[in-house]
Structure 1
Amino acid sequence: MDTTTTHYVRLATAKELFLTLDEPVPVTIDSLSDALCCTPRNVKFILRKLEEQGFIHWQPGRGRGHYSEMTLLRSVNETLENHLRELIGRGKIKEAIELIGTIDIHKTLQEQLLRSLNKHMGFHSHVETASGQDVLRMMRSRRLTGLDPAYVYTAFETYLLGQVCSTLITYDVKTETFLPELAHMWESSEDHKMWTFYLRKGVRFHHGRAMTSRDVKATLQRIQDLDSPMSWHYRDVERVEADGDYCIRFYLSRPNRFFLHLFSCIPMTILPYDVDVSKKLIGTGPFQIIEMNEDVLVLSAFDGYYGIRPHLDQVDIWFVPELGPNEHHYELPRTDRMKLNTSNNETTLVNYPALGCRYILFNFYKAGIHHQLEFRQALRLVYDPVRLVKELGGNRITPANSFLPWKSAVTTWHETSLVDAKKLLMRSGYEGEPIILSYPVNKGLKEANWLQQRGKEIGLNIELHLSAHYPHPDKYKDATLMMAEEILEDDWQFGMINYFKNKSNHLHAYLTPAVQFILDQKLDHFAQLDNEKRSVLLDEAEGLLRDNCWILHGCHMNKKAQLDQSIFGMQTAEFGFMDISKLWIKNQ
């Protein structure tokens, strides 16, 4: 915020001055000096600037002991909105975001400024050149925690990696088959202990070099060398042999019928062997990163992409203060996110019932009453999925007793009894001690309050703590309960086994080694089974979580996106995000 605007907002919001818009108010130079935290001499200089720029009308007092009069000519809202528009017009998006995030204003005004900013986000066509440049701007309320495929954890980061990098093959959720990507063909031995991939020729990384089998080998070696949370999946690989630049073979210690899933997942995106991607991410995908910091991620279409070049030339993803509901927004200028109406002719609502669910898990690294099964069973009744959906609604669409919606759908649901919950609580030996519940910023408070109130009805004392480090779990926190959300990949079998085996997720952060060993034993032979038997085994493993109340399933979620109807080519990528490589905008 420039100094003149800062001074005006400081004066207009100073409670001790009692200033009112369009009404002259008696003031003294000393009182203004206190409000502005400056000398009386500087006050006179500031007043002159404010009057010259039309912020105030100033009538100095005549004679000793007479008050001067100040009239505010602009509302604080108008002043800040005008300044915001000025910053955006000058291309200072970072300063505009800082204006919203740093000034001490009422929440309603902050939301109003966010709406104003949102009007200027979305699609912009720059026609300074004959060819023009199509730019899409997006806003996100959570900053990136990293874009290293070996450590990727969140859904949004996984989605972004899919726009920048490519895998050997892709999983087609509609046909439940695999399609060529960087590899144009593949085969396995009859015993599924040797897998061969034949690479596409002419694929280039963003830094210009052609991709070869050496890059594929180095990518897998990197996962193993880093002891990536994903390394468990590749533990059976004994050796890798490159047969020239475009053929690579993997030799396994035991059969693996799940092997193709492991080479279509984002953590196994192919990286160049000659670049340290922990410092600069280089891939072969439709977009390349040209800028990445805590404020913005800028993606530029890669002209050398081996597939169909994106229609968009650039995508800017700005990280702003909290945006409220957990929805994704891809909009054009003049579109007000807060007033979008799905019944009009200007916007399109995209619904994406996501695989996965909201759930609660217990911190078994902490001593306490939650180690008693009856306590966890009592909380199971308090955290009633049926009541959760019915009473809180929103994007909570169906009750869950599995991460998979079709599993939950065959359940016969009934509301639970708090009377039964109270009996279990008493039998557990609970004596009223506080139970700390950690909930995620931006989307967990409403649900946490609901659970806290339900607990009070049976004498359960739940204290709410905001999780400052969400989404990354931390087993050394003091919380007993953690509210979490797991969104699975479209390749649901990979999503489920990765949930059970990924070392960096919530489950591994809070289950003790003894419990993890039980799950490891159950799932050890997972990859040797055929598709149907793998499904049965995953159901049995999830049954262990459910029957022992190691986690409490809550509800399935619906992800929403509001899009202006001028955006075409809308295709949903994984996790409910739009595939920006397919989007194009029809100029009006």
Structure 2
Amino acid sequence: MDFSYFELRAHYYATEQNLTIHCRLADLESIWFCTAKNCKRKLRKYESEGLLRYTPGRGRGNSSTLTFSLPFKQEVEEMVTSLVAADRLDDLLTFLQLPIPKQWITGLTTELNQLFGFQGPHAQKDILRTIIARKLTTLDPLFSSITFESFLIGQLGDPLVTYNKEMDKIEPRIAHHWKSNDSHTLWTFYIRKGIQFHDHSTLTTKDIEYTFNRFKAVDNAYSWVVEHIDRMNLLSDYTIEFYLKEQNPLFLRFISIANFSILPHHISFDEKEWVGSGAFRLKENSDQKIVLSAFDSYFLERPILDEVQFVRVDHSALHNVTFHLENEEEQIQLQKTKEIEVGYRFLVFNFHRSAIVNDAKFREAIYHLLDMKRMWRDLDREHLVEASGNFYWNSEERDRSFEKVRELIEESSYEGETLRVYQLNKEHAIEEANWFMEAGKKVGIQLELHLFQLDSFYTEDFEQHADFIFMGEVSSSDHHVSFYGSFKNKALLFRRMLLPSHLGKIDSYLNQFKMESSTAKREQIINEIESYIKRENLILYMHHPIKQQTFHPMIQDIQFDSFGYVDLRRLWVGKV
């Protein structure tokens, strides 16, 4: 939306007298960032709309006179009211950043409350509001592989068991006890009684059977979890057996993934009307807002927060956002947390499209080209945590030499063809892609940048169009299962971009991994897989992001859940 008219009024408001200002076209050029000719067009347009009367100055450089039709305050109030009525959050956020007298905005509390869902001062609810910068991909557990969506699923539902990272053990959730035979091919689960779904129906083993059969019925992102389930046997409403085709000591950890939250069998799944047994129920799921409301009948401890609102704001407006708690009016110094994310950014080659990426010399050249130290220095960034594998505590700096790049390219079969680079349409990601493009240009590699949105990740036809893809991988609290799943999940890039020969080698390691009860031996297998990837330059590890989160100081008991998101079940609002 064009707010040029309001930029004009806000800029000259302090000098306005009797609805009249005097200005020069040269000044308008700097306000509107356009030519004098276009400034005149804008003024004539506003005049035709009845917003002002324009009297051009006589002679070159003389001031023109603008007389407005209405008081500025009245126009501001009318604009805010219209934006609220149209539910145009992004435009409203942008509009409120103009240098408009703040006392005018204070007087519009009623109108703003309609949009932001403020409760009046009489409200007894604890409501936390935050933002998301994109549309959701999907909340269907069968297909959701993006961290935020999986995090939301974990708020709406509960799996049979859950993984405790601190204790490195499985704990009860829907099931209160379980057992397996010695070969780990038969697992028996005993289900809590009285668990209610959000529609207040009672959870039984029929719902567990339905949930797992959903995963078995279609090819999906988590087929690797259920592919070895032979059958299920319902001994009663509260006892169920799983018979596996082969032994799997990690079966409990596989099914502790949030996506295996139990769904009611009597309701067809609808991600807009998500019904689970979780601590929060889905109150609203629209393109503009996602609202979670505490489920009063939750079988474990009810959340202290009554409601959590995720309001969608486009990237271009993010820097304009001020964060508040509901009913909080004072400006308070926000608290910030900063930690290294258990994840990494990487570049993966598409071995299905371009013959050149199958050239080991060319991949080695790209490895030396993608030098994180040079990138950080050139982009004037701080606090590089260079990645040489999945986990930052195992990563170390690796030697790269820009001088080797040209030599390796000459030894490769590269003939100057243009290669396509795909990158997320996010500010820092674009900076890194542009740096990579410039670095490639210096050594004669022709690159073409294509930006994509995360909400199109599943539909983007990378296999047909991309040569390189920049992306990130984030671990859940169960680092080993996340590592395993990152290579087994068909929706993720490794399974989509690597050749069957590469995946066959990795799968042979993963088969050993799955059978191994020893944490130390699984760690050794992880190292062997990473060594193979680095030796062949199949994936180029880049860096471990440093994640910063901002909190109001009244928010208490901040703990982090799977994927590094705040555990909403434990948050509460206290006094500063």
The Cα of 1:431 is off from its aligned counterpart by: 2.8
Q: Deviations over 1:358-391 (max 9, x none)?
A: 0001111112322100000011011123334455
Specify whether residues 212 and 529 from structure 1 end up closer, same or farther in structure 2 by C-alpha distance, changes over 3 A only.
same
Residues 1:261 and 2:253 are matched in the alignment: yes
* Distance (Å, rounded) in 1 between the aligned partners of 2:74 and 2:465: 44
Specify whether residues 423 and 25 from structure 1 end up closer, same or farther in structure 2 by C-alpha distance, changes over 3 A only.
closer
Counterpart AA for 1:357: Y
Q: Pick one of 305, 311, 316 that aligns with 2:309.
A: 316
Structure 1 gaps, min length 5: 14-18, 51-55, 62-67
* Distance (Å, rounded) in 2 between the aligned partners of 1:289 and 1:487: 25
Residues 1:297 and 2:290 are matched in the alignment: yes
Q: Which residue of 2 aligns with 1:465?
A: 450
Q: Deviations over 1:325-363 (max 9, x none)?
A: 899996437999xxx9xxxx8221122322120000111
Counterpart AA for 1:245: D
Q: Percent identity?
A: 27
Contact 1:327 1:560 in 2 (8 A): no
Specify whether residues 485 and 393 from structure 1 end up closer, same or farther in structure 2 by C-alpha distance, changes over 3 A only.
farther
Query: Aligned with 1:298: secondary structure?
Result: strand
Residues 1:287 and 2:280 are matched in the alignment: yes
Counterpart AA for 2:22: E
Query: Aligned with 1:398: secondary structure?
Result: coil
Residues 1:351 and 2:347 are matched in the alignment: no
* Distance (Å, rounded) in 2 between the aligned partners of 1:155 and 1:507: 16
Specify whether residues 456 and 313 from structure 1 end up closer, same or farther in structure 2 by C-alpha distance, changes over 3 A only.
same
Counterpart AA for 1:446: E
* Distance (Å, rounded) in 1 between the aligned partners of 2:407 and 2:541: 21
Contact 1:168 1:180 in 2 (8 A): yes
Counterpart AA for 1:181: R
Q: Pick one of 407, 414, 422 that aligns with 1:430.
A: 414
TM-score (norm 1): 0.80
Q: Which residue of 1 aligns with 2:141?
A: 149
Counterpart AA for 2:487: F
Q: How do residues 50-449 of structure 1 correspond to structure 2 at under 5 angstroms? A: 50=51, 56=52, 70-71=66-67, 86=81, 94-99=87-92, 126-127=119-120, 132-279=124-271, 280-322=273-315, 331-332=324-325, 346-392=333-379, 397-408=384-395, 411=396, 413=397, 415-442=399-426, 443-449=428-434
Q: CA RMSD in A?
A: 4.1
Query: Aligned with 1:541: secondary structure?
Result: helix
Q: Which residue of 1 aligns with 2:35?
A: none
Q: Which residue of 2 aligns with 1:490?
A: 477
Q: Deviations over 1:446-483 (max 9, x none)?
A: 11122222223323233222124654353344221110
Contact 1:327 1:561 in 2 (8 A): no
Q: Which residue of 2 aligns with 1:520?
A: 507
The Cα of 1:179 is off from its aligned counterpart by: 1.5
Query: Aligned with 1:387: secondary structure?
Result: helix
Q: Which residue of 1 aligns with 2:30?
A: none
The Cα of 1:134 is off from its aligned counterpart by: 2.4
Q: Deviations over 1:47-91 (max 9, x none)?
A: 2xx4xxxxx578899xxxxxx953359999x99976675568x6x
Specify whether residues 165 and 97 from structure 1 end up closer, same or farther in structure 2 by C-alpha distance, changes over 3 A only.
same
* Distance (Å, rounded) in 2 between the aligned partners of 1:246 and 1:395: 54
Specify whether residues 79 and 396 from structure 1 end up closer, same or farther in structure 2 by C-alpha distance, changes over 3 A only.
farther
Query: Aligned with 2:87: secondary structure?
Result: helix
* Distance (Å, rounded) in 2 between the aligned partners of 1:22 and 1:126: 40
Q: Which residue of 1 aligns with 2:574?
A: 586
Query: Aligned with 2:89: secondary structure?
Result: helix
Counterpart AA for 2:466: A
Q: Which residue of 2 aligns with 1:22?
A: 21
Q: Which residue of 2 aligns with 1:16?
A: none
* Distance (Å, rounded) in 1 between the aligned partners of 2:284 and 2:164: 31
* Distance (Å, rounded) in 2 between the aligned partners of 1:79 and 1:570: 43
Residues 1:574 and 2:562 are matched in the alignment: yes
Q: Which residue of 1 aligns with 2:467?
A: 480
Residues 1:499 and 2:495 are matched in the alignment: no
Contact 2:118 2:327 in 1 (8 A): no
Structure 2 gaps, min length 5: 11-15, 26-37, 58-63
Contact 1:395 1:557 in 2 (8 A): no
Q: Pick one of 530, 533, 537 that aligns with 1:549.
A: 537
Specify whether residues 334 and 213 from structure 1 end up closer, same or farther in structure 2 by C-alpha distance, changes over 3 A only.
closer
* Distance (Å, rounded) in 2 between the aligned partners of 1:95 and 1:328: 14
Contact 2:135 2:312 in 1 (8 A): yes
Query: Aligned with 1:504: secondary structure?
Result: coil
* Distance (Å, rounded) in 2 between the aligned partners of 1:520 and 1:126: 53
Contact 1:218 1:273 in 2 (8 A): yes
Contact 1:349 1:561 in 2 (8 A): yes
